[in-house]
């Protein structure tokens, strides 16, 4: 069969477009108190991001002028509370179309790493009172967002068992995944979650290759985005990096903003744009690229050494 060059070119262009933009992408919002204008970068220009979460029940003030259909807010029940159900119901009755919720952030992790450190039986009792009623209203529920370590699987099993002992099936519609590490580990972990909880959608709600070189971090980003877009049971994903490189707790190269608040290559690609060639630095002093030596980073910028 003969295929004209025009058809091939069109196909190549379509592949490029679908590889760099995605309807699955959202924002794990880490607001910047020091630089509030950074908060608007994620929704500015031609941003690809269609949804966000902020680890809280209520939407962020930074996006109060965005409607739910423009930038969908997904509430999170971070750790057990008795007010989650009433708060979500009041948002819905106030006209906000809440269709999905997230629950219990890293309950198998400690507060030193951002975990909520909740006992499975305590979470089960809380889910039965605060989450099951929302599910009956048609809201899709995310299983507890456990860490990517083996303790996550153990915790989830204990959680579902605890629901049974309390006479209820706690039903999750989708399974959030957190992952810090390389792509092979990520794909293997996602496969294990999919094998354990069959026929469920998976959301990757925190992920990055932490503390590695810029080139490895960028390759990881590209490979994982292509994978998430291709696998149909992956419903959504949100990259952990909506902050400046000098305050990143996952290493400077994973951040989506430089120390000056400009989009890095990963930041721009994630929003659906082109490379920016902005190099993230671990220090607010920044790095200087000397023309003629290409992209080699040669010196910290002396004139910014005011601290
Ligand atoms: C929303 O408010 C922010 C400031 O909080 C502003 O920068 C942004 O331009 C506003 N966006 C729209 C669409 O009005
Ligand atoms: C709420 O959003 C969902 C998903 O976008 C849509 O299918 C549904 O029609 C919306 N409901 C209302 C009441 O707007
Ligand atoms: C829980 O689910 C199982 C399997 O689908 C079913 O047999 C059982 O009746 C359910 N229990 C409750 C309390 O709904
Ligand atoms: C998943 O879906 C397949 C195909 O529809 C079905 O054969 C299988 O029993 C389902 N597994 C579970 C655990 O529901
Ligand atoms: C990542 O993908 C972008 C296109 O989206 C490409 O320009 C860049 O070279 C890729 N980088 C790596 C390290 O694969
Ligand atoms: C990764 O880098 C961050 C700072 O960018 C640091 O706080 C953290 O301890 C590092 N983690 C590891 C495992 O090296």
Q: What is the CATH number of the domain that holds 197?
A: 3.20.20.80
Is residue 8 predicted with pLDDT exceeding 70?
A: no
**Cα separation, 105 vs 80, whole angstroms:** 10
Q: Is 279 exposed, middle or buried (0-12, 13-18, 19+ CB in 10 A)?
A: buried
Measured from the alpha carbon of residue 31, the closest ligand is 1
* Mean pLDDT within 244-270: 98
Q: What is the helix (H) or strand (E) element at residue 288, kind and residue range?
A: strand 287-289
The tens digit of pLDDT for each residue in 81-117 reads 999 999 999 999 999 999 999 999 999 999 888 899 9
Measured from the alpha carbon of residue 183, the closest ligand is 5
What residues make up the domain containing 145? 5-304
> SS3 of 87, please?
helix
The chain-wide mean pLDDT, for the chain, equals 89
* Mean pLDDT within 144-160: 97
> SS3 of 290, please?
coil
| Helix 214-230 with 183-196: angle, nearest 10 deg | 30
Is residue 129 predicted with pLDDT exceeding 60?
A: yes
The tens digit of pLDDT for each residue in 262-295 reads 999 999 999 999 999 999 999 987 654 443 333 2
Beta-bridge partners for 52 = 27, 73
Cβ within 8 Å of residue 118, ≥6 positions away: 79, 80, 104, 107
Is residue 10 predicted with pLDDT exceeding 90?
A: no
Q: How far is the CA of 92 from the centre of ligand 2 (A)?
A: 11
> Is residue 209 within 8 Å of 217, Cβ to Cβ?
yes
Proportion of the chain above pLDDT 70, given as a percent = 87
Domain count, the chain: 1
Is residue 240 predicted with pLDDT exceeding 50?
A: yes
Strands 51-53 and 72-73: parallel
To test the pocket of ligand 1, the residue of 29, 36, 40 to mutate (highest count of ligand atoms within 8 Å of its CB) is 40
Give the position, in ligand 5's atom list, of the atom nearest the Cα of 19: 5
- Report the nearest-CA residue for atom 8 of ligand 2: 97
């Amino acid at each position: 069969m003969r295929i004209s060059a025009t058809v091939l070119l069109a196909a190549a262009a379509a592949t490029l477009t679908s590889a760099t933009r995605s309807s699955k992408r959202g924002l794990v919002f880490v607001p910047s108190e020091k630089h509030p204008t950074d908060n608007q970068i994620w929704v500015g220009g031609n941003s690809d991001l269609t949804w966000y979460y902020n680890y809280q029940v209520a939407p962020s003030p930074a996006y109060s002028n965005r409607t739910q259909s423009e930038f969908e807010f997904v509430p999170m029940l971070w750790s057990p509370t008795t007010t989650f159900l009433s708060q979500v119901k009041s948002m819905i009755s106030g006209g906000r179309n809440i269709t999905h919720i997230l629950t219990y952030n890293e309950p198998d992790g400690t507060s030193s790493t951002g975990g909520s450190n909740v006992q499975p039986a305590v979470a089960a009792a809380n889910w039965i009172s605060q989450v099951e009623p929302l599910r009956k209203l048609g809201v899709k529920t995310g299983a507890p967002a456990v860490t990517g370590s083996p303790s996550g699987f153990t915790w989830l099993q204990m959680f579902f068992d605890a629901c049974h002992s309390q006479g209820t099936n706690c039903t999750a519609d989708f399974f959030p995944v957190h992952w810090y590490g390389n792509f092979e580990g990520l794909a293997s972990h996602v496969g294990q979650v999919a094998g354990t909880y069959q026929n469920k959608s998976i959301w990757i709600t925190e992920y990055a290759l932490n503390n590695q070189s810029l080139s490895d971090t960028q390759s990881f980003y590209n490979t994982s985005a292509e994978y998430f877009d291709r696998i149909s049971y992956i419903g959504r994903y949100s990259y952990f990096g909506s902050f400046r490189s000098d305050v990143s707790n996952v290493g400077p190269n994973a951040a989506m903003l430089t120390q000056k608040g400009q989009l890095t290559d990963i930041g721009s690609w994630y929003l659906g744009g082109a490379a920016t060639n902005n190099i993230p630095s671990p220090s607010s002093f920044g790095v200087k690229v000397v023309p003629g030596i290409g992209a080699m980073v040669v010196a910290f910028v002396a004139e910014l050494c005011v601290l």
